[in-house]
Structure 1
Amino acid sequence: MEKDYTDHPADAPPVRLAFRVLYLGSRFYGSQMQAASRTVEGEFVSACQRLSLFDDWRKAGFLSAGRTDRGVHARGQVIAFSTPAPERARTVINTQLPPDLWCTAYAEVPMEFHPRYDAKSRTYRYYFSKRPGQPDAMDRAAQQFLGSHNFSNFARVKDKNPYRNILAARVGEEDGFEFLEVKAESFLWHQVRCMAAALLLVGEGESDEGSIARLLEADALRPLQPAPAEGLILWETDCGITWTPITSEGQSGAFMDHLVRHYALMEKVCRVLKTTQV
């Protein structure tokens, strides 16, 4: 007969959960835990502890699929941890998270699941604030990234292996914004933002399409200046998980609606001022 742990959930055997996590990165100092700064992992751990999902995040095996820098956003981050109260975790986690951080889905996973090492691929999108004059040239140039290459000129490599295998890359357009979408098994620090910066030079006519291949083949030079973080979104992390949706969005829905309305208002104000004549 199965035991009922309703009155004493702490005595229940732990269950490992994975969550699909979204966040607006503007007010976070990156995703990785930092003692003195507001981070995605820090806020998530605090929410879990307020819900008594675990006491020690390390013992709970709290892990993220990847790190994002300050100002970078996510719609497909994966966070996993083990808890004796899985029902509480999946039903009320969003009520304790801040409005710029929320979960849209969960899954029960094996106890040995590691979101970083079990990820088959990661996809990023970079939205360009500038409208390039030659987006088709950018897309053709982006195809040169495909395959395994030395990305020393596109990243902060330090002591890491500079080779990365790019599975897909394209430049598209959505709602008046060109974007770079790139998929790989893993990425180096600043790699996607440097790739975006190089493609923007092509789109503005400052570099030719062959410049990408030349940078990939050249000895390590001074790395490109990365494009601003605000345009980058961790789009998807493929861990082979079948997700169950979480319907409660907590405070995030109203918060995002407010931001959309606020920036629409700012756009209107800018257009009024720009078109005002003496």
Structure 2
Amino acid sequence: MSGNGPADDYEAWTKSNLIARVRHLENQLEQSGRLGELADAVKPAKAGRDMDPSKYSTRFIALKLAYLGKNYGGFEFQASGNLPSIEEELWKALTRARLIFPDDNKVVKFDCCDYSKCGRTDRGVSAFGQVIALRVRSNRPRRDQGEPLEGKPFDHVDDELCYPRLLNRLLPQDIRVLAWCPWLPADFSARFSCRERQYRYFFTQPAFAPLPASLQGPAKSSRVKTGWLDIAAMRDAARRFQGEHDFRNFCKLDAAKQITNFCRRIFEADIVQVQDDGSTLPYLQDADFAPPGTRAADGTRLHIFYFHVRGSAFLWHQIRHMVAILFLVGQGLEQPSIVSELLNVKRHGQKPNYTMADHVPLVLWDCVFSGDRHDDDEGPGKDSLDWIYIGDDKMKSKFGKFGLVDDIWGLWRQHKMDEVLANQLLRQVSGPSRARDEAKHALPSAGTTAAGVRVFEGGNSGRYEGRYVAVMDKKLLQTVEEQNDKYAKRKGYANAQDMWTRRVMDRARLEEACAQSSRQGEEGEGGEGGEGGEGGEGGEGGGVATQLNCMV
């Protein structure tokens, strides 16, 4: 690996490339000190033969991705991130496979391939239906080459590169390409052409290890036994999200974006039980642990549920805020009506400062693209993209050796063994006491009485509070308008309205400058024609205009 000295843009390098660079330089220093002048006589490694992109055609495709996000710092690449991102791993696979041809493979910069993404999942969040669109190298004959000599027309699936298999060989095991779409409209955008996004947030029932009745202390007013969730109440609360509402009290505000419209439409919201989840915990059938009215047959079973939500678009951390409120309802700490109260922004214009739910159980389940109008409230619409899934062309690519199922099976079994061992340990520890009389040595002040209320937030254990404070009694944050004005003043503007007005004026001047430059280029004057050739900067200017448009 060789660098260009000060010209290298280390800020944009990936973490793995920076580490490789440091090791390379350390190795050079070591060799220089050990060999001295002889180091100059070492024959440099032969550079690998690269592909000439001008010899290949390209095509605009979409890829459907699945990934487990626990080990990643989010989907979007960030040069300063401590953890690798999904985009970073995609970039390395795309460049190694020579599917895209950037100026510098070390710098993650997708502007070379008409790239767009549907969702930007945060750190730790998984996705089973993420979609990206980009222009890649193709097997399709170039127009100047015509059809193959045999006269057989080019088949856009059978004769094309199998992009999922090609990329899956290079991606980490917990990131996989599930399908690709070879036919996209010219103006397709994975972000703006998406009509519906579906999320699922998974949780267990019980939410955390329940205490026996002898350790719970005096009965509380809540009818929900500690550790268990009232699914019916959660379902009631979840369905109140349906429809078009202002969700400013169910998101985290980024004042830098100066958002003023928080209205989003939720097509469907419900609590759904996962079938055949498989885990059993025999001690839960004991009447001392089970909630009242639970059948003995169900008591051994740890059930898995998920919050299912479909919508056109979502605000930052909106799902995790919605789930946090549902968990409070499920524990009997809040009534289902709390959802309706928080959605009433005329009455509650300031968001209470409550904690959002954990990030790991959240999954971007699917992204739907539909060109047909239909009633979104009646159910998910049919995806208008013609996806080619792994196995549609050759079954062995799905079930055979090195197939996708065999690949995912290995990943599943690895995690399943972790679950099995933890399950067996829990069964052994939670077994009946063999030495002491539990009733005689009980600690009646334990649990909610001594340690406070235990609040479930979606993670592996609950959080104890000395005394539960109702959501509506919590400290209120500043209004959206106050936070936007505060940010604008830090940037030197009078207020948010002043910043918005001046940015609109800046955008108008920029568009006029771009139009004037375009007119000059069309006149074909020598010197100015040369400037017109700097289309890259013109493209970046357009990007600035787009960015300003997003910001205002």
With normalisation by structure 1, the TM-score equals 0.91
Q: CA deviation at 1:8?
A: 6.8
Task: Work out which of the two has the higher radius of gyration on C-alpha atoms and give 1 or 2.
Answer: 2
Separation in 1 of the partners of 2:307 and 2:352? Answer: 23
Aligned pairs for 1:132-143 (under 5 A) are: 132-143=228-239
Separation in 2 of the partners of 1:10 and 1:48? Answer: 17
Equivalent residue number for residue 241 of structure 2: 145
The CA RMSD over aligned residues, in Å, is 2.0
Q: State the Cα deviation string for residues 151-208 of structure 1 (Å, max 9, x = none).
A: 1111013322211111111011113112110111000111001101101111111111
Higher strand share: 1
Whether 1:214 aligns to 2:258 is no
Q: How many residues matched? A: 272
The code of the aligned residue for 1:169 comes to A
1:244 aligned to which of 388, 397, 404: 388
Separation in 2 of the partners of 1:48 and 1:253? Answer: 25
2:304 aligned to which of 169, 177, 180: 177
Q: CA deviation at 1:223?
A: 4.5
1:260 aligned to which of 413, 416, 433: 416
Tell which has more relative contact order, 1 or 2 (C-alpha 8 A, sep 6+).
Answer: 1
Aligned pairs for 1:33-112 (under 5 A) are: 33-37=77-81, 38-56=84-102, 57-85=110-138, 87-108=161-182, 109-112=184-187
Aligned pairs for 1:218-237 (under 5 A) are: 218-237=348-367
Alpha carbons of structure 1 residues 106 and 204: separation in structure 2 relative to 1, 3 Å: same
Q: CA deviation at 1:88?
A: 4.9
2:314 aligned to which of 181, 187, 193: 187
**Identity fraction in percent:** 29
Equivalent residue number for residue 457 of structure 2: none
Separation in 2 of the partners of 1:132 and 1:80? Answer: 43
**Runs of 4+ in structure 1 displaced over 4 angstroms?**
7-10
Equivalent residue number for residue 531 of structure 2: none
Whether 1:166 aligns to 2:166 is no
Q: Is the 8 A contact 2:164 2:178 kept in 1?
A: no
With normalisation by structure 2, the TM-score equals 0.47
Separation in 2 of the partners of 1:140 and 1:43? Answer: 41
Q: State the Cα deviation string for residues 8-43 of structure 1 (Å, max 9, x = none).
A: 775233111111111111100010111243001110
2:191 aligned to which of 92, 101, 116: 116
Q: State the Cα deviation string for residues 38-85 of structure 1 (Å, max 9, x = none).
A: 001110111110101012232112222111111111111112211123
Equivalent residue number for residue 4 of structure 1: none
Q: Is the 8 A contact 2:168 2:177 kept in 1?
A: yes
Q: Is the 8 A contact 1:168 1:182 kept in 2?
A: yes
Consecutive unaligned residues in structure 1, runs of 5 or more? 1-6
Q: Is the 8 A contact 1:11 1:84 kept in 2?
A: no
Consecutive unaligned residues in structure 2, runs of 5 or more? 1-50, 103-109, 139-159, 208-226, 278-302, 370-383, 391-397, 436-552
Q: CA deviation at 1:133?
A: 2.8
Higher helix share: 2
Equivalent residue number for residue 3 of structure 1: none
Which deviates more from structure 2 when the two are superposed, residues 177-186 or residues 89-98? 89-98
Separation in 2 of the partners of 1:116 and 1:223? Answer: 30
Separation in 2 of the partners of 1:226 and 1:13? Answer: 48
Q: Is the 8 A contact 1:10 1:84 kept in 2?
A: no
The code of the aligned residue for 1:35 comes to A
Q: Is the 8 A contact 1:98 1:251 kept in 2?
A: no
Whether 1:13 aligns to 2:57 is yes
